[in-house]
């Protein structure tokens, strides 16, 4: 699936839990992180096809990545479980929505067995567009009711401005 869809899936789910801003960012990063292996494209098509859905899309990587996020978090046990689950969610989303050509080498480097499901759909499909739009709608609800955006840590000033914009009507009613 698309990177932004993965990112928002992590951020939205992170908002269901009592976490701090940095931990919510970690959730978003965990949900998108496996796609770092697509950076092989910098070195050419061959590297891309060889390593995308291999290096970052496996159980070993998800365990290590979840442990790394946990180390830098305040709520350690919660973040370990949540990041691990979000990394698995990335695999599930990819199994369905990355196109019929892609498989996932989930047991790499211990086994080269490739996993796929027969009912997957193309990357550019209505299913993926719908998933992206639903996550954007969820994000808007969080901005409105939980009063924060995915930018809360990286651009706090812009985060505040967006929250204020979405709650303008509400604030006016209160005055
Ligand atoms: Zn992926």
Ion ligand 1, residue ranges at CB < 5 A: 34-35, 94
Q: Which residues pair with 104 in a beta bridge?
A: 115
What distance in angstroms lies between residue 49's CA and the mean position of ligand 1's atoms? 13
What distance in angstroms lies between residue 54's CA and the mean position of ligand 1's atoms? 9
What distance in angstroms lies between residue 29's CA and the mean position of ligand 1's atoms? 12
What distance in angstroms lies between residue 90's CA and the mean position of ligand 1's atoms? 6
What distance in angstroms lies between residue 139's CA and the mean position of ligand 1's atoms? 21
Q: Could you read off the pLDDT tens digit of each residue along the chain, which spans 175 residues?
A: 999 999 999 999 999 999 999 999 999 999 999 999 998 888 888 888 888 889 999 999 999 999 999 999 999 999 999 999 999 999 999 999 998 888 999 999 999 999 999 999 999 999 999 999 999 999 999 999 999 999 999 999 999 999 999 988 666 655 5
Contact 69, 30 (CB under 8 A): yes
Distance CA 100, CA 44 (A): 22
Quickly tell me which residue has 């939980």 as its tokens: 146
Domain residue limits, the chain: 3-125
In 3D, which of 69, 65, 61 has the Cα closest to residue 22? 69
Say which residues have a Cβ less than 8 Å from residue 147's Cβ, sequence separation at least 6. Answer: 163, 167
Query: Which tokens is 111 given?
Result: 């086994």
pLDDT value of position 28: 98
What distance in angstroms lies between residue 22's CA and the mean position of ligand 1's atoms? 23
What distance in angstroms lies between residue 104's CA and the mean position of ligand 1's atoms? 9
Say which residues have a Cβ less than 8 Å from residue 75's Cβ, sequence separation at least 6. Answer: 18, 19, 20, 23
């Amino acid at each position: 699936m698309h990177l932004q869809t993965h990112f928002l899936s992590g951020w939205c789910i992170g908002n269901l839990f009592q976490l701090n801003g940095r931990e919510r960012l970690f959730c978003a990063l965990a949900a998108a992180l496996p796609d770092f292996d697509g950076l092989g494209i910098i070195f050419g098509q061959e590297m891309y096809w060889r390593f995308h859905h291999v290096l970052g899309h496996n159980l070993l990587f998800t365990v290590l990545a979840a442990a790394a996020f946990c180390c830098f978090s305040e709520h350690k046990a919660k973040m370990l479980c949540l990041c691990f689950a979000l990394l698995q969610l990335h695999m599930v989303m990819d199994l369905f929505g990355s196109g019929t050509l892609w498989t996932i080498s989930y047991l790499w480097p211990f086994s080269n067995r490739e996993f796929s499901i027969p009912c997957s759909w193309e990357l550019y499909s209505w299913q993926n567009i719908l998933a992206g739009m639903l996550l954007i709608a969820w994000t808007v609800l969080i901005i409105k009711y939980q009063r924060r955006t995915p930018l809360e840590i990286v651009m706090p000033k812009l985060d505040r401005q967006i929250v204020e914009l979405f709650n303008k009507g509400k604030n006016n009613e209160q005055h």
